[in-house]
Amino acid sequence: DAKTTQPTSMDCAEGRAANLPCNHSTISGNEYVYWYRQIHSQGPQYIIHGLKNNETNEMASLIITEDRKSSTLILPHATLRDTAVYYCIVITYNFGNEKLTFGTGTRLTIIP
């Protein structure tokens, strides 16, 4: 699976959009980009995933560049409850055999 690079930490004002970047320059054609987050003292939580098209759900939007070498997770109106560590993961879609390799992620702090 391709490696990912994320900033160690970011701050965002409450109510503003939080944009979390992820670099995955060695991604291959059959690898998906997944985002999870982990709020303090809880298990990781799935947010969104995509292959090459931009995706949106009730939690966030995922923008993947045309060359697929990077992506951005967007939380449109950040709240204090969005303070968490956010993990970008690239995995091959093996229908269940895939393991999740979480790096150190980005620690996002929402400022009141």
What residues line the site for another protein (CB under 8 A)?
Answer: 41-46, 49, 93-105
Give ∠ CA 74-60-26 in degrees, rounded to 5. 60
- Minimum gap (Å) between residue 108 Cβ and another protein: 17
Instruction: Please identify, using beta-carbon distances, which residue of 81 and 99 lies nearer to another protein.
Output: 99
Query: Smallest distance from the beta carbon of 87 to another protein, in angstroms?
Result: 8
Alpha helices in the chain (DSSP H): none
Task: Determine phi and psi for 82, rounding to 5 degrees.
Answer: -85, -5
Sign (positive or negative) of CA dihedral 61, 107, 79, 42: positive
Taking phi over 0 as left and psi of -120 to 50 as alpha, with beta for the rest, 30 belongs to: alpha
Q: Which is nearer to another protein, 46 or 56 (CB)?
A: 46
Closest CB to another protein among residues 14, 52: 52
Shortest spacing between CB 10 and another protein, in angstroms: 18
